[in-house]
Amino acid sequence: MKEIIVTVKKEFVNKYKKGYPLILEEALENTKSLKEEGQIITLIDENKAFLGKGYYGKQNKGCGWILSNSKNSNLDYKFFYDKIRNAFSKRIKLYHSRDTSCFRVFNGEGDGIGGLTIDYFDEYYLITWYSKGMYEFKDNILKAIKSLVSFDGIYEKKRFEENGMVVDEDSYVCGKKAPEPLVVKENSVNFAIYLNDGAMVGVFLDQKEVRKSIRDKYSRGKSVLNTFSYTGAFSMAAAKGGAITTSVDLASRSLEKTTENFTINNINPAKHKIIVEDVFLYFKRAKKEELKFDVVILDPPSFATSKDNRFSAAKDYKDLMKSAIEITEDKGLIIASTNCATFNMAKFKKFIDDAFKECNKNYEILEEHSLPEDFAVTDKFLEGNYLKVVFVRMY
């Protein structure tokens, strides 16, 4: 494909000189030459000095990624092979782990290729392409994976439908078809994975350390409320640690999926509650019924619209936190999590602080988490470290 040269606006030159990897449309003098996704772009400044080389691919944010800071680098098979080999070799310890068989092996710009992630689920690989442009490199990337590792099968998600949704089609790429479910484990907790069932496969791998902490330190003999519970991954961690859990999610699939996860962990689902309900209505009901929990977990999506509510983490987290405070036992724990990339940890803690002040309660932060090590991040792109989790003791 033809390489194109694009000039960066003066006010953005410094940003790119410092190694910022995301190509922003507003940073480019002229975007007319950007026509076909997957085109190789060379960015230069107004004096024609080289700034970086990357590809054109439209995502929610940005229109491509810089992949190399060297003028002479060809974005060819060897380039992708080296990046992927390097990323896989950094996860060697995880590959050898006896009690974990699911983790991220390639994390976008953190591993040198923005727009691409690869997850490992017990001998299966799941590739996520974040733009049509990235997808143009599919042959080289598949070839690199095939030459580096043995596997049972490969699946893919094309996350480049309107609004970054996943293209609705079969996810199978090659090799053996995965069993449904494919049972994987994380720190000896089992999860049922469906590689070919829409955008989400059953577990969010970025919460691994949070789940471990919940199980090991805060669950024995406790009552745990898990809100926005999805397949109940946090509930599994808590139940394994000796808690009685209540999981609340609006999606009716959550009942069946959470029950299945309990079953494959040899936990009797009948001892736990799985409630299909809007969390905001549940909070109202719980308050009226004067329910209290030792631990409340909040892990909402960044945006959620239901029949009765519209939630935006950036606007409404404080109120969500206040609802949680009202139904948490004295000296209880609230685990507040968000994957919203539009605010940072300092701002997130401010939402938490405001909520406690408005409720006239004191608190102490016990733990803070961001992405685990397999979700590699680069200090050139801080937005990439989106996960923020705070464990708060209330008193």
Min dist CB 326 to ligand SAH, Å, is 17
Interaction between residue 279 and ligand SAH (CB under 6 A)? yes
Q: Which residues contact 149 (CB under 8 A, 6 or more apart)?
A: 88, 125
Residue 65 tokens, joined: 């990624």
Q: Per-residue DSSP letters for 326-390?
A: HTEEEEEEEEEEE--TTS-HHHHHHHHHHHHHHTT--EEEEEEE---TTS---TT-GGG---EEE
Give the number of residues in contact with ligand SAH, rule: CB under 6 A. Answer: 19
Closer to ligand SAH at the Cβ: 260 or 299? 299
Residue 180 tokens, joined: 């449904």
Closer to ligand SAH at the Cβ: 16 or 228? 228
Taking CB under 6 A as the binding criterion, the range among 87-95, 274-282, 317-325, 367-375 that sits at the site for ligand SAH is 274-282
Max distance between CA atoms of the chain, in angstroms, equals 69
Residue 122 DSSP one-character state? T
Closer to ligand SAH at the Cβ: 22 or 389? 389
Interaction between residue 276 and ligand SAH (CB under 6 A)? no
Taking CB under 6 A as the binding criterion, the range among 32-40, 130-138, 180-188, 248-256 that sits at the site for ligand SAH is 248-256
Please tell me the distance from the alpha carbon of residue 116 to that of residue 108, in angstroms, as a whole number: 5
- Residues 179-238, interacting with ligand SAH (CB under 6 A): 204, 207, 228-231, 233-234
Contact 328, 394 (CB under 8 A): yes
Closer to ligand SAH at the Cβ: 291 or 304? 304
Interaction between residue 278 and ligand SAH (CB under 6 A)? yes
- Residues 287-346, interacting with ligand SAH (CB under 6 A): 299, 301, 304, 306, 309
Min dist CB 230 to ligand SAH, Å, is 4
By the 10 Å C-beta count (0-12 exposed, 13-18 middle, 19+ buried), 182 is classed as buried
Taking CB under 6 A as the binding criterion, the range among 93-101, 123-131, 262-270, 275-283 that sits at the site for ligand SAH is 275-283
Min dist CB 252 to ligand SAH, Å, is 9
Contact 55, 133 (CB under 8 A): yes
Contact 109, 175 (CB under 8 A): no
Closer to ligand SAH at the Cβ: 7 or 312? 312
Min dist CB 16 to ligand SAH, Å, is 34
Min dist CB 199 to ligand SAH, Å, is 11
- Three-class DSSP category at 84: helix
Q: Which residues contact 269 (CB under 8 A, 6 or more apart)?
A: 258, 259, 262, 263
**Sites of contact with ligand SAH (CB under 6 A):** 204, 207, 228-231, 233-234, 249-251, 278-280, 299, 301, 304, 306, 309
